[in-house]
Chains A and B, each alone.
Chain A
Amino acid sequence: MEKIPNQKAWFLVLPVFVLVAFSAIIPLMTVVNYSVQDTFGNNKFFWNGVGWYQELLDPSTELGGRFFASLWRNLIFSAIVLAIEIPLGIVVALAMPRAGKGVAFSLVVLALPLLIPWNVVGTIWQIFGRSDIGLLGWALNRLGLDYNYVADPIDAWVTIVVMDVWHWSSLVALLCYAGLKSIPDAYYQAASIDGASRWAVFTAIQFPKMRHVLVIAALLRFMDSFMIYTEPFVVTGGGPGNSTTFLSIELVKLALGQFDLGKAAAMSIVYMLIIIIVCWAFFTVMTNAGADHDRDQGQSGGKP
Chain B
Amino acid sequence: MARIDLVDLAHTYGSDAAGAPVFALNPISMTWRQGGAYALLGPSGCGKTTLLNIISGIVRQSHGKVLFDGKDVGALTTQQRNIAQVFQFPVIYDTMTVGENLAFPLKNRGLGRAEIDRRVGEIAELLDLTPDLRRRANRLSADAKQKISLGRGLVRADVAAILFDEPLTVIDPALKWELRSKLKVLHRALDLTMIYVTHDQTEALTFADTVVVMYDGAVVQIGTPEELFARPSHTFVGYFIGSPGMNILPARVEGRRAEVAGRTLALARSYTTLPAKARIEVGIRPEFVSVAPPAPDLATAKVDRVDDLGRSRFAHVRLGEQRVAARVPRGVPVGDEVGLQFDPAQIHVYADSHLIEGQRVEGEV
Chain A contact residues, CB within 8 Å of chain B: 184, 186-187, 189-190, 192-197, 200, 204-205, 208-209, 292-293, 295-296, 299-304
Contacts and interface: CB of A to CB of B under 8 A. Distances in A.
Contacts of B56: 189, 193
B288 interface: no
Contact of B91 (A187, A293, A295, A300): A187
B141 A301 contact: yes
B15 interface: no
Given A204-B96, A205-B93, A301-B142, A193 B84 contact: yes
A88 B6 CA distance: 46
B334 interface: no
Given A193-B79, A194-B152, A292-B136, A303 B172 contact: yes
B93 A186 contact: no
Contact of A184 (B78, B89, B105): B89
B233 interface: no
What 6 pairs across the A-B complex have the smallest Cβ distances?
Answer: A195-B108, A190-B91, A194-B105, A186-B87, A304-B141, A204-B93
A182 B172 CA distance: 25
Contacts of A187: 91
B78 A208 contact: no
A300 B148 CA distance: 14
B138 A296 contact: yes
A200 B79 contact: no
A300 B141 contact: yes
B142 A190 contact: no
Nearest to B142: A301
Given A292-B138, A301-B142, 11 more contacts: A186-B91, A187-B91, A190-B87, A192-B58, A193-B153, A197-B108, A204-B104, A208-B95, A295-B139, A302-B141, A304-B143
A193 B153 CA distance: 8
A303 to B, nearest CB: 6
A192 B95 CA distance: 18
Contacts of B96: 204
Nearest to B81: A193
Interface string B88-100: 1101011110000
A195 B144 contact: no
Interface of B is mostly: mixed
Interface of A is mostly: helix
B85 interface: yes
B87 A192 contact: no
B83 interface: yes
Nearest to A207: B95
A109 B236 CA distance: 51
A296 B95 contact: no
Contacts of B93: 204-205, 208
A269 B122 CA distance: 62
Contacts of A303: 141, 172, 175
State which size class the interface on B falls in: 35 or more
Contacts of B22: none
12 contacts: A190-B152, A192-B78, A193-B83, A196-B104, A196-B108, A204-B96, A204-B104, A295-B139, A299-B139, A303-B172, A303-B175, A304-B141
A186 B89 contact: yes
B109 interface: yes
Contacts of B109: 195
Contacts of A200: 104, 108
B170 interface: yes
A295 B94 CA distance: 12
Nearest to B109: A195
Given A186-B87, A186-B91, A301 B170 contact: yes
Given A204-B93, A204-B96, A303-B141, A194 B108 contact: yes
B50 interface: no
Interface in B130-178: 136, 138-145, 149, 152-153, 170, 172, 175
A292 to B, nearest CB: 6
Q: Pick the most buried of B94, B144, B172: most chain A CB atoms within 10 A of its CB.
A: B94
B77 interface: yes
B58 A189 contact: yes
B53 to A, nearest CB: 8
Interface in B89-129: 89, 91, 93-96, 104-105, 108-109
Contacts of A302: 141-142
B79 A195 contact: yes
B139 A192 contact: no
Contacts of A208: 93-95
Contact of A292 (B84, B139, B143): B139
A261 B89 CA distance: 61
A197 B108 CA distance: 7
A57 B6 CA distance: 78
A192 B77 contact: yes
Contacts of A186: 87-89, 91
Contact of B78 (A193, A292, A304): A193
Nearest to A297: B138
A208 B170 CA distance: 22
A144 B139 CA distance: 59
A299 B56 CA distance: 32
Contacts of B175: 303
B138 A293 contact: yes
Nearest to A304: B141
A192 B91 CA distance: 12
A140 B91 CA distance: 51
Contacts of B149: 190
Interface in B240-276: none
A197 B110 CA distance: 11
Nearest to B85: A193
Contact of B141 (A193, A295, A299): A299
